[in-house]
Structure 1
């Protein structure tokens, strides 16, 4: 596969996750990832600053989609209703590759403190984007922040259920929205 063929970013992510799963994050080199993806090291560095950044490929797009969905929610939508629109919007962009990577990516993150730290920063970025979109709708900051954090948790729980669940043709959105509904119900028991 030529280094200039489209899809280099996706090939690099898939190659990295495969190698992280096979031999561990620490033992995997950029050269190995590039070779597995069929690109050069310089092509790798045109796409990513280092191998940690592979974990957050698409984070900016995901955060933007979440925020755009919140901004497009109907007037009068509650904060969690707006978050649900954001989750639906972002989830609609997730396809089979995202689903297939889920379990392997989770295993790689669980096995590496460095990746756990980067994953936590990804969650912070998603929450910040949703909080800003909710505040722009006139939601007070504490409420916006709480709704955004519930949105991040719902996305993660929904993604985990979707990526490890039965291949029944449903997309991520029903799983993320079901997780948000469960979290919403759970908040009622907090007192």
Structure 2
């Protein structure tokens, strides 16, 4: 069974290349290593679904079931040879091939005519404040990485996220300035 690539699937395979883990250990490492900034593990069910898909596809397998009185039974997974090859293929494909994502923000922008310019200005100003916070967080992570003398490769995803966030910040500020000055306006907002 061919397993479709996904950011979380790739991350699980990468973690299991590091060492065999149980799902809670995977989730903890994803958060500890800051990978939760690029893969969604907020809901543990998505991690379990991904593990199930990878297991059914032969990319990972159960290594052991641990029993400890302090914890519920834990299934430890390990990567298979096919999983190693697949992880490398997915990584190569994800690095080399731009994908068209469909995030919420551009969809909302494409429907801006539903509201008045003043409403758009208010919403975009609130977004800009949140983007300012994201930039500050990226800067904190990068500064921490520098203090800890981590290799640059350990924070490339944060560098990328910061660059994209900075571009959004600059674009937002331009649109906000145009809305404030009245150089960007429209009519036809529906009540």
TM-score between the two structures when normalised by the length of structure 1: 0.33
TM-score between the two structures when normalised by the length of structure 2: 0.33
Which structure shows the higher strand fraction?
2
